Amino acid sequence: MKKIRRSLLLKYIFLFLFAIGFIQIVVMLYMLTINVDRLFKEQPTSVDIEERWAKDMKHASPETLENVVTQWHHEYPSASFFYVDGGGMLKKQWYRKDGDDLPKQWDAMRTTKFIKSRYDSDPFTVIQFIGDDLDNGFAVLEIDRAIFETNKLDDRFIIIAIVLFIVFIFVSILFFLRILKRLVQLENAMTVREVDGLPIKIEVKKKDEIGAVELAFNQMVDELREAKKQERREEQLRRELIANLSHDLKTPLTKMRAQLRHFDKKETKEIDASIDQMSALIENLMAYTLLTADKMLYKPEDVRIDRLVNRIVASWYPAFEQAGFYVELKTTQAMWTVDAIWFERIIDNLLQNVLRHADKGKYVGIRVSVDAVIIQDNGEGIQTNAQTKGAGIGLSIVRLMADKMDLQVEIASSKEGTTVRIGK
Partner 1 sequence: MTRILYIEDEPEIASWLKEEMVEYGYDVYAYESFEAFEESGESVEFDAVILDIMLPGLDGFSIARKLKRKHTELPILLLSARSMLDDKLDGLQIADDYVTKPFHPAEVIARIEVLLRRFNKKDDVLYLQHLKIDLKDFQVVDMDAGEEIVLTQTQYGLLQYFITHLKQILTKEQLYEAVWKEPYIDGDKTLMVHIRYLREKIEKDPSHPTIIETVRGIGYRVRT
Least Å from the CB of residue 290 to partner 1 = 7
> Rounded CA gap, 407 and 336, in Å?
10
Residue 102, CA distances (Å) to 105, 108, 115, 211, 323 in order? 9, 15, 13, 79, 143
User: Of residues 11, 92, 238, 257, which one binds partner 1 by CB under 8 A?
Assistant: 257
Number of residues that bind partner 1 (CB under 8 A): 44
Amino acid identity at 342: W
User: Of residues 64, 112, 254, 384, which one binds partner 1 by CB under 8 A?
Assistant: 254
Length of the chain in terms of residues written:
424
Residue 42: left (phi > 0), alpha (psi -120 to 50), or beta? Answer: left
Residue 355, CA distances (Å) to 142, 204, 347, 400 in order? 131, 64, 12, 22
Query: Order of strands, edge to edge, in the sheet holding 408-414?
Result: 326-331, 363-368, 372-377, 417-423, 408-414
For residue 119, the Cα-to-chain-centroid distance in whole angstroms is 71
Least Å from the CB of residue 306 to partner 1 = 8
Whether the Cβ atoms of residue 209 and residue 202 lie closer than 8 Å to each other: no
In eight-state DSSP terms, residue 105 is B
281 binds partner 1 per the rule CB under 8 A = no
Cis peptide preceding 62, ω within 30 of 0: no
CB closer to partner 1 out of 190 and 278: 278
Helix (H) or strand (E) holding 354: helix 340-357
Number of H helices, E strands in the chain: 11, 11
Whether the Cβ atoms of residue 359 and residue 377 lie closer than 8 Å to each other: no
CB closer to partner 1 out of 99 and 324: 324
Least Å from the CB of residue 219 to partner 1 = 33
With H, G, I as helix, E, B as strand and everything else as coil, classify residue 128.
Answer: strand
Site string for partner 1, 290-319 (x = CB under 8 A): x-----xx---------x--xx-xxx-xx-
Question: Within 324-383, which residues bind partner 1 (CB under 8 A)?
Answer: 327-331, 333, 341-342, 345
CB closer to partner 1 out of 210 and 351: 351
Stretch that binds partner 1, among 21-29, 135-143, 242-250, 356-364 (CB under 8 A): 242-250
CB closer to partner 1 out of 13 and 297: 297
116 binds partner 1 per the rule CB under 8 A = no
User: Of residues 279, 369, 396, 419, which one binds partner 1 by CB under 8 A?
Assistant: 279
CB closer to partner 1 out of 27 and 314: 314
Binding site for partner 1 (CB under 8 A): 239, 242-244, 246-251, 253-259, 261, 275-276, 279, 283, 286-287, 290, 296-297, 307, 310-311, 313-315, 317-318, 327-331, 333, 341-342, 345
